[in-house]
Every structure is written in C-alpha cells, then in structure tokens.
Structure 1
Amino acid sequence: MRLKSFQPEEEYVYLTYSMKNDEGEESRVLLENYSVLLQRALDWLWERIKVERKEVKKGKKTFTKVKITLPEKKGVYRTLRDELEKINNLASHYADKAIRDAYSVLKGWRRRAEKGRASLRKPRLKRVYLRVKSTLRKVEGETVRITVKPHQYLTFSWSHTWFSPRVKGLELGEPVIKEDKVHLPFRHKLPRFTPLDFLAVDSNLYTLDAYDGEKFVTFSLRELYSLKFGMELKRGRIKSFASKHGRKGKVLMRKYSHRERDRVLDYVHKFVNELLEMYPVTTFAIEKLNKQSMFQDTDDRLSKKISRTVWRSIHRALKYKAPLYGSLVKEVNPHLTSKSCPRCGRVSRKVGLFVVRGVVSPWTGN
C-alpha cells in the first residue's frame, strides 16, 4: 500500500451568497447561446441512447424492467464537440461545458427512469443556468471576470455587498449565473479537530428531542409547524382563486409559495445558528429520515402532519454549518431509535416509552 501522506485530507465547507445580476442583458444573451449548445448536445446524445425493456416476474406479479445505456463519453466526445463548434457563438470551453452538463442531465434522468420515477421521453430544459468553469473565470481582488468569447467579458464585484467581510480571504469556486441573480460559492478551509462532546437528536412532529450524555433537552418546533399550517390554509384559498383567474392567479400563487419558502428557511437558519452556538465543538447524531416510507405506514391525518415537517431542511442546514463551529454531523439509521433508551440502549416494546421530558430549552426566534 502506498500512502502519499500520513496527514489527513484537508476538508472544506462552501459558503454560497447571492447578488443581483447587474449584467442582465449580457447575461441573458450568454444563457440563450449556452442553452442552444446544451439542447443540441442533448438531442445528439438522445439519438444514440439505447432503451431495453425486459419482462420480470416476481411472485404472481409481472412488471417491466427498463435498462438505459448512454453512449460512452470517450467514444463520442470528439465527434460531438466538433458538432457543437459549428453552432457555437461563445468561447470554445462552453462546448466542453455543454457536453458535461448534457451527460449530467441524462444520467439523472436515467437513474429516475430505471426506478420508474420518470417517463421515457426526452428530458426538457426548463430554466437554464450556467455554472462557470474555472478556465472561464479570473478573480482579481473582490471582482470576478467571466469570459463570454475572446475579448468579451462579464464582470461581477462583491466589494460593496453585505457579505464582503465574511468572505474576505476565501477562495471563489464556480459562479452560477442566472438571468436575475449570480450565486458565488466561496471555499473555507476547515481546521483539523476532534469534537469530544456529542448530542443525539430525535426528530418529532413538534420538537427535536436530544440527549447529551447527562441530561435530556427539548427544542420546540411548534412555531415553525404553525407557520407551515397557516401558509397551507392560505395557499388553499389562493389555489381556489387561481383556478378562476388564470394568469393573475398563477402569479399570486408563485408569490405566496416563495414567501412560505423564505419564511421557513429564515426560521430554520436562525434555529440552527442558535443550536450550534449552544453546542459548539460537538458531534451531532441525527436520523436519516425518509418521508415517503412514512406516508405508506400512516393514515391520511398523520400523513398531512408529517408533510408539514421540515426535518430535511434542518438537517441540511445543520450539516453544512456545523464545521464552522468545530462540530460534525453523523446520520444514523432511524430504526428503533424512538424505542431505545439513550442511557443503556434497551429497546422497549411500547412506542414512546423513552420520550424526552427533561430540561426544555425552546428557541423563541427573538
């Protein structure tokens, strides 16, 4: 066995910030030209995809198993690139980018289609965005210059933005360009650490119940649940209005959907920040939950309650923010976690025997 180094690999966390796209017209032209390249790459590869259907019998049921084979990238890369260069109005690197993105789209579609979660029709491009390769951007101070074509550039600066002090000295990753916004990911190098404390977290409908080895702690999520419930009622009334007013109703529906998402995310991030400030340098053990399987095992009333939970959003925010506080997040199998005693590990036959009823520390949102 050959080891390059006895030192552990360096770890990074990415902090992404959004800013207004001041180069709106030029960005729109760039996205339109790139979407033409990407669509042409998808069409070209689609003609060379092989779809095989096989009847499989399992017990008394017979179902169709689908196998999708994409053309090998090495075998078609040069031919496809030459085909794209005929219609390319951008720098030549955008042809390489279009090929890579086309394969990414088709691989995602293949994974869903083979599981029966997507149709066998050609995937469509809805909203095209562009993730700029490192070969197409140059960082100078607090400004990034993006090459559109030889001697034509787009320039974005974050020197006067609110997040400028937070990203000072960090390395810029691959910017993502949309018509209205630009997303800038910055890479933050993590120090090497080993958290000694731990916190085991059990996710429930209205609370997060935790155990830190000495005491039980309950974090209330009722305010967040009430927010979701209230917005759900309002969205139901808007759906009724939208069904009668066409385009005006769709605009109103989109407005309130964005409002609900923004309010929920704002609460989640504030909650996670408060939790990490209370437990720095800690290993968090959280359940890897699957809502879809829960819906199959519950009635309609409980399913509606589960649908209002945002466990995944909380866990996702916790996973990427924890390293900034010297903490780690580990996902565990949720099987029997609600029936097991956190002290001795004994599994009870009664559901909810070991419900957390210790110290209550709800986050108030103030």
Structure 2
Amino acid sequence: MCILSIVEVYLGVPFGYEPNDEMRKLLEDFRDMINFCIDYAHKRRITSFAKLRKGVYEEWKRRWDYSTHFCHSSCKIALAMLKKHRKKHKKEKPEAKKLFMQLDPVLYKFYGDGVRISVRPRQFLFINLKFGEYQKKFIDSWKEGKLKTG
C-alpha cells in the first residue's frame, strides 16, 4: 500500500512600495470590501466560499467599480478571518483594520521594478517596489518560471 500526499508550501515575501493616493484608496476600499463580506457572512452564519460569493456579488458590484476578482479575494480573506475568530470562541464579529491586499494571480504582474495591478478591465495601477537582494531573488526566480505567485 502506498500513500501519496502532496504538500504545498507558501512563503510570504514583504515588499515596500512608493505610496500614492490611488494606491491608498485601493487599500482602503479593499479593507471595506473585506468588512462588507465579514458582516454579510456573520449575519447569515455563512461558512462556504461559494455561498458567500454568490450572496455578496450583486451588492458588491453596485458598491465598488473594480474587477470582480477583488470580490473573490475579499470573500476568501473574510472567511479565513471568521474561521480564526470562531476557533477562538469569540461571539462578536471580527473587523479588518489594517490596510493590506491579497490578490488573485490574474490581477497582478511584475513589470520591471514594479507591479502592475489590474483595477478594472484594461485599466491598471502601477506600483514601484522597494526591495533588496532577498526580494530580488524571488523576482528573478519568478521571471525564470521557477516560482509561482499568488
């Protein structure tokens, strides 16, 4: 008898960036998207990604004018936060406070020394990254096809 198990390892690599008003607005909107999904799932006791995404999708599109992949990402993060919160046996709902983003791989692409984020169809936000030798190794590996992002 042979047992085969596949393990995926994820590594988060921090990058600095040159802030601008457009980026700040995107980060604040993404935080609001997560809190919207948390609120919706918490009120309805939803734990399934498919049910949450189906439930918030139309209202999400009315509220925000971004690529709908942002809806997928915010739903995933919201459910992860709710799951962690339930494990700690807390009754009140969690809240996203910090500004951060976790994007689907189709939404971004390394572009020279920066990242191009697809905000809307055929509309992009370019961010100049600040990185050192450690981060440069990962960018080079990604360009050579040795590494996946997302």
Which of 55, 58, 68 is 1:82 aligned to?
A: 58
CA contact (8 A) 1:23 1:154 kept: no
Structure 2: which amino acid aligns with 1:150?
P
Larger Rg: 1
Q: 2:94 corresponds to which residue?
A: 123
CA positional deviation for 1:96: 1.1
Structure with bigger RCO (C-alpha 8 Å, 6+ apart): 2
Is residue 2:49 matched to residue 1:73? Answer: yes
1:35 aligns with 2:20: no
**Contact 2:116–2:126 (CA under 8 A) maintained in structure 1:** yes
CA drift of 1:86 comes to 1.8
The TM-score with structure 2 as length reference comes to 0.75
| Partner SS for 1:47 | helix
* Structure 1 residues 99 and 165: alpha-carbon distance in aligned structure 2, compared to 1, 3 A threshold: closer
Distance 1:2 1:149 in 2: 47
* Worse-matched range after superposition: 163-172 or 37-46: 163-172
Letter in 1 for 2:29: N
User: Paired residue for 2:142?
Assistant: 171
8 Å CA contact 1:12–1:187 kept in 2: the answer is no
Aligned to 1:22: 18
**Secondary structure of 1:90's partner?**
coil
1:140, 1:16 → 2: CA distance?
Answer: 17
RMSD: 3.3
1:124/1:13 Cα in 2 relative to 1: closer, same or farther (>3 Å)?
Answer: closer
| CA deviation string 1:205-232 (max 9, x = no partner) | xxxxxxxxxxxxxxxxxxxxxxxxxxxx
Q: Displacement, 1:140?
A: 3.4
Distance 1:141 1:93 in 2: 23
Structure 2, unaligned runs of 5 or more: none
Indicate yes or no: 2:115 matched with 1:144: yes
Query: What is the aligned-residue identity percentage?
Result: 19
SS in 1 for 2:15: strand
Q: CA deviation at 1:22?
A: 1.6
More helix by percentage: 2
CA distance in structure 1 between the partners assigned to 2:8 and 2:31 by the alignment:
34
Q: Is the 8 A contact 2:114 2:128 kept in 1?
A: yes
**Structure 2 counterpart of 1:101, which letter?**
I
CA contact under 8 A between 2:31 and 2:97: conserved in structure 1? no
Deviation at 1:12, TM superposition (A): 6.3
Distance of 2:132 and 2:25 partners within structure 1: 28
Contact 1:15 1:187 in 2 (8 A): no
Structure 1 residue runs without a partner (length 5+): 50-69, 114-118, 173-185, 189-366
* 1:45 alignment partner in structure 2: 41
Quote the Cα distance in structure 2 between the aligned partners of 1:72 and 1:125: 19
Q: Equivalent residue for 1:154?
A: 125
Within a 5 Å distance, the mapping from 1:208-223 to structure 2 comes to none
AA at the equivalent of 1:36: D
Q: Which protein has the bigger strand share?
A: 1
Whether the 8 Å CA contact 2:18–2:128 is kept in 1: the answer is no
Map Cα deviations across residues 233-264 of structure 1 (whole Å, 9 max, x no partner). Answer: xxxxxxxxxxxxxxxxxxxxxxxxxxxxxxxx
| 1:84–1:95 contact (8 Å) kept in structure 2 | yes
Structure 1 partner of 2:71:
95
Distance 2:35 2:10 in 1: 33
C-alpha deviation, 1:30, in angstroms: 0.2
The equivalent of 2:82 in structure 1 is 106
